[in-house]
């Protein structure tokens, strides 16, 4: 997680309403319009159904209470307003309480195609549709409880499983590969790359292997893991995850499929 950001989350007024500027609402509109077109026939059916349930406005950024009404009805989840960056402890605490953190800022035009930190478009459009799904919601809740109880070293391993499921997961549907990871579904470039490029490796999901696979957040992913169906997340949630983490620690990490991140020169 990046330690610094140029972005600052908006604060809600006394009625819980966030006042977005016309430009911020326009950025949302343009992002939604572009991404809805790209994910057609690429996102999994459950994601598209969740998008339908949420009925997100196109012309403005949704208010959190609008999203919460749908999530509460479907799975008992809520979104929670957070600063632009939060630490792992707070992240896991929120998930353990069925609250999904949403930083209340939106990217600038200069970072329209990609930004490193998760903004409200990534969180609401990329993740919230699947929080209406019981398997996805149960897995995310279980993951949060495990992470909140885990030590710092084990959380790093747990983060890899989250990365290869919630953020960058693929699944099989009707004989084709489909996307359910929010990190992919909020990125036009990665949506196409994840399914259509010959470059990345795609493996069936094995949690032990996912725990051992390094990743970088600032590149197209060199490795994806595939579920047979979204309901596999129920089974994943019931595994003894911490025993698998111990196994992964004993076996060690796989060799990274990417070069090390360039070091910034001191100036």
Residues annotated catalytic, as ranges? 122, 127, 167, 186
Cβ neighbours, 10 Å, residue 238 = 11
Widest CA span in the chain: 54
Q: What is the DSSP letter of 62?
A: P
78-82 and 99-103 beta bridge pairing: parallel
68 contact partners, CB below 8 Å, separation of at least 6: 78, 79
Residue 80 burial (10 A CB sphere; 0-12, 13-18, 19+): middle
């Amino acid at each position: 997680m990046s330690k610094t950001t140029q972005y600052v989350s908006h604060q809600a007024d006394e009625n819980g309403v966030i006042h977005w500027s016309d430009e911020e609402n326009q950025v949302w509109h343009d992002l939604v319009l572009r991404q809805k077109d790209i994910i057609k026939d690429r996102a999994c059916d459950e994601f598209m159904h969740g998008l339908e349930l949420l009925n997100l406005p196109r012309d403005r950024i949704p208010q959190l209470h609008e999203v919460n009404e749908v999530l509460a009805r479907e799975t008992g989840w809520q979104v929670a307003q957070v600063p632009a960056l939060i630490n792992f402890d707070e992240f896991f605490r929120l998930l353990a309480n069925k609250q999904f953190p949403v930083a209340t800022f939106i990217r600038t035009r200069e970072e329209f195609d990609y930004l490193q930190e998760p903004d409200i478009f990534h969180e609401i459009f990329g993740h919230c549709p699947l929080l209406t799904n019981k398997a996805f919601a149960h897995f995310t809740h279980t993951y949060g409880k495990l992470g909140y109880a885990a030590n710092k070293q084990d959380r790093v391993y747990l983060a890899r499983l989250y990365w290869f499921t919630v953020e960058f997961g693929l699944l099989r549907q009707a004989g084709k590969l489909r996307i359910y990871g929010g990190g992919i579904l909020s990125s036009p470039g990665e949506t196409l790359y994840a399914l259509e490029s010959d470059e990345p490796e795609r493996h069936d999901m094995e949690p032990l292997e996912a725990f051992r696979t390094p990743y970088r957040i600032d590149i197209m992913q060199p490795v994806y893991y595939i579920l047979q169906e979204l309901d596999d997340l129920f089974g994943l949630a019931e595994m003894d995850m911490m025993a698998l983490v111990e196994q992964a620690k004993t076996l060690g990490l796989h060799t990274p499929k990417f070069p090390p991140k360039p070091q910034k020169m001191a100036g």
